[in-house]
With several copies, the nearest count.
Chain A
């Protein structure tokens, strides 16, 4: 499969200012005082590696979220945007974002679950044209899914 011919300026579509900002100044970077759920995300193909921490209360509301790790601009920005997004959401709503983001990156705008407004997360859309980078953008989201599921099913980043 031949990657379509892109011009250099298209790179701006991948590395939008919002992405670069979140990559350089990741929000919620570090550990939490209280962690109820966590998961590691590893992208074996490129070496990106991060750990996501959640503090979920008894009503299944994500009170706090944070992450640690190292990765490329795309994976760090995506993790940073994730934490910004999910704080305050119920775990069900957070999973709706998981569905929406992964669908967006798979080029499937319909999503496969509850409709959500992606908001800032639309900045990740440029990654779609870079198939090798889609896994970077979804890494944190797979960690989210694993973390939320961890009481019931074994963690998996696939």
Chain B
């Protein structure tokens, strides 16, 4: 089946990238590793690991305030990564690229700095039923802090947002719409460009949780016209502890700082403090310099391969995965949206996902099991959790065959 497949040149090139990822070249429990957990965290190519090691071994110093050579090199590399990330998502200016520790911090920053000062009773924050906890709990917290109300747009049984219902919730009391680009639990790719246009027609700013977007498709924040776009380094083949908050300059400019400390100020005195310009106002303290350099290397790595090639390769794989999984008796696929990324949640007979996870791990196949930080989705589908296989550019058809074999084995054990 694998052999017969016709790949175009771009797809073949992407498939060849697997060897760039040292972690994939190992045996686990006596079997060559099949890593199908990239939606939780992706592996890093040598280009990323080496960029950080090189930095740490030769160029490290604190950034921004040093006149000495290492500090200058560190600052250049750090700010160079900012320009790389700006280009990667096509932001208008590096002033719109705030480095954070991840999607979670990016969203909390918006909740606390953009929303908290402007929310009160009667105001609404709008999210959807398919969000990751990172795009739920910060809004619950800020609503509790301010007396605002959290509105939740429903999903249907394919795992798609019910657009009419979402649009019906939009009115002039809604202060922000926060919505995933791609659902991590269901794989649904939301039509965010249309949704953003609809929200803007009602003057509602939009935050996009792009954690599962950037690793898999070309993201152009200028074209989307989103107000904020949040994502994590570790899901796009960069290091943990890094992330980005993109925000439109005018909005970021008007927001108070999120944290206080060094680098985010121009002047500190006990009679008052003047904050620094963008993006530094939001980067208090010594940043994750090596991490950001690794993140820049990850973005360059992806740009070299080409996001369109990656998308096209993953689309092939994803279709194959759906087809193979659908062929398994007693499987229940959860998340069957028309427009889907390479993420598939499922249940197999009455085998608890946790047991499935162990049995697959035993065969060298790494999947995630549980609620995937999306408990409301689990509750909607009436399941305590699911097993989830998620793809990235380095997966291939064999990986999917191995997954299916391993699932068949699980059925035997639980027969």
Q: Do A and B bind each other?
A: yes
Chain A residues with CB under 8 Å of chain B are 1-3, 5-8, 10-12, 14-15, 20, 24, 42, 44-49, 70-74, 76, 130-133, 136, 158
Bound: A23/B295 CA distance, A? 42
> Are B355 and A72 interface neighbours, CB within 8 A?
yes
What residues of chain A lie closer than 8 Å to B29, measured between beta carbons?
Answer: 3, 5-6
Given A12-B413, A20-B414, A72-B354, do A46 and B65 touch, yes or no (CB 8 Å)?
Answer: yes
Which 3 residue pairs across A and B have the least CB separation, nearest first? A72-B354, A72-B352, A5-B30
What residues of chain B lie closer than 8 Å to A49, measured between beta carbons?
Answer: 384
Residue in A6, A46, A47, A73 whose CB lies within 8 Å of B30: A6
Interface segment, one of B8-16, B67-75, B81-89, B120-128:
B67-75
Bound: A85/B273 CA distance, A? 35
What residues of chain A lie closer than 8 Å to B30, measured between beta carbons?
Answer: 5-7
What residues of chain B lie closer than 8 Å to A71, measured between beta carbons?
Answer: 352, 354, 384
Count chain A CB atoms within 10 A of each CB in B280, B354, B359, B385 and give the residue with the most. Answer: B354
Residue in B266, B369, B384, B413 whose CB lies within 8 Å of A11: B413
* Cross-chain pairs A/B with CB under 8 angstroms, 13 sampled: A1-B76, A3-B72, A5-B27, A8-B409, A15-B414, A45-B64, A71-B352, A71-B384, A72-B352, A74-B355, A131-B72, A132-B71, A133-B67
Bound: A6/B364 CA distance, A? 10
Shortest Cβ gap from B263 to chain A (Å): 9
What residues of chain A lie closer than 8 Å to B157, measured between beta carbons?
Answer: none
Given A47-B384, A48-B354, A72-B354, do A10 and B413 touch, yes or no (CB 8 Å)?
Answer: no
Shortest Cβ gap from B155 to chain A (Å): 20
> Are B67 and A3 interface neighbours, CB within 8 A?
no
Bound: A46/B378 CA distance, A? 13
What residues of chain B lie closer than 8 Å to A74, measured between beta carbons?
Answer: 354-355
Bound: A5/B29 CA distance, A? 4
Shortest Cβ gap from B168 to chain A (Å): 33
Given A1-B76, A11-B413, A70-B384, do A44 and B352 touch, yes or no (CB 8 Å)?
Answer: no
Bound: A73/B414 CA distance, A? 10
> Are A132 and B67 interface neighbours, CB within 8 A?
yes
20 more contacts with CB within 8 A, not counting A5-B27, A44-B277, are A1-B73, A1-B76, A3-B28, A3-B73, A8-B409, A11-B358, A11-B359, A11-B362, A15-B414, A42-B266, A47-B354, A47-B385, A70-B384, A71-B354, A72-B355, A73-B352, A73-B355, A76-B352, A133-B67, A133-B358
Chain A CB within 8 A of B370 CB? yes
Closest to B352 in A: A72
What residues of chain A lie closer than 8 Å to B409, measured between beta carbons?
Answer: 8
How many residues on B have C-beta within 8 angstroms of the other chain's C-beta atoms?
A: 35
Bound: A8/B414 CA distance, A? 13
Chain A CB within 8 A of B276 CB? yes
Bound: A133/B356 CA distance, A? 12
Interface SS of B by simple majority: mixed
Chain A CB within 8 A of B363 CB? yes
Shortest Cβ gap from B257 to chain A (Å): 14
> Using an 8 Å CB-CB cutoff, how does the interface string of B53-79 with A read, 1 for contact, 0 for none?
000000000001111010111001000
What residues of chain A lie closer than 8 Å to B363, measured between beta carbons?
Answer: 8
> Are B384 and A8 interface neighbours, CB within 8 A?
no
Q: B273-301: which have CB < 8 Å to A? A: 276-277, 280
Bound: A10/B29 CA distance, A? 11
Bound: A6/B28 CA distance, A? 9
> Are A47 and B73 interface neighbours, CB within 8 A?
no
Bound: A109/B351 CA distance, A? 30
What residues of chain B lie closer than 8 Å to A131, measured between beta carbons?
Answer: 72, 76
Closest to B28 in A: A3
Shortest Cβ gap from A157 to chain B (Å): 9
Closest to B72 in A: A132
> Are A14 and B354 interface neighbours, CB within 8 A?
no
Bound: A133/B353 CA distance, A? 13
Bound: A76/B69 CA distance, A? 23
Bound: A81/B128 CA distance, A? 41
> Are B362 and A8 interface neighbours, CB within 8 A?
yes
What residues of chain A lie closer than 8 Å to B413, measured between beta carbons?
Answer: 11-12, 15
Count chain B CB atoms within 10 A of each CB in A2, A24, A45, A47 and give the residue with the most. Answer: A47
Count chain B CB atoms within 10 A of each CB in A24, A46, A76 and give the residue with the most. Answer: A46
Shortest Cβ gap from A21 to chain B (Å): 12
Closest to A74 in B: B355
Given A6-B29, A131-B72, do A44 and B280 touch, yes or no (CB 8 Å)?
Answer: yes
> Are B362 and A136 interface neighbours, CB within 8 A?
no
> Are B362 and A46 interface neighbours, CB within 8 A?
no
> Are B69 and A47 interface neighbours, CB within 8 A?
no
Bound: A136/B385 CA distance, A? 15
Shortest Cβ gap from B308 to chain A (Å): 31
Shortest Cβ gap from B66 to chain A (Å): 8
Shortest Cβ gap from B273 to chain A (Å): 13
Shortest Cβ gap from A152 to chain B (Å): 20
Shortest Cβ gap from B195 to chain A (Å): 30
What residues of chain B lie closer than 8 Å to A130, measured between beta carbons?
Answer: 358
> Are B65 and A45 interface neighbours, CB within 8 A?
yes
Closest to B26 in A: A2
What residues of chain A lie closer than 8 Å to B277, measured between beta carbons?
Answer: 44, 158
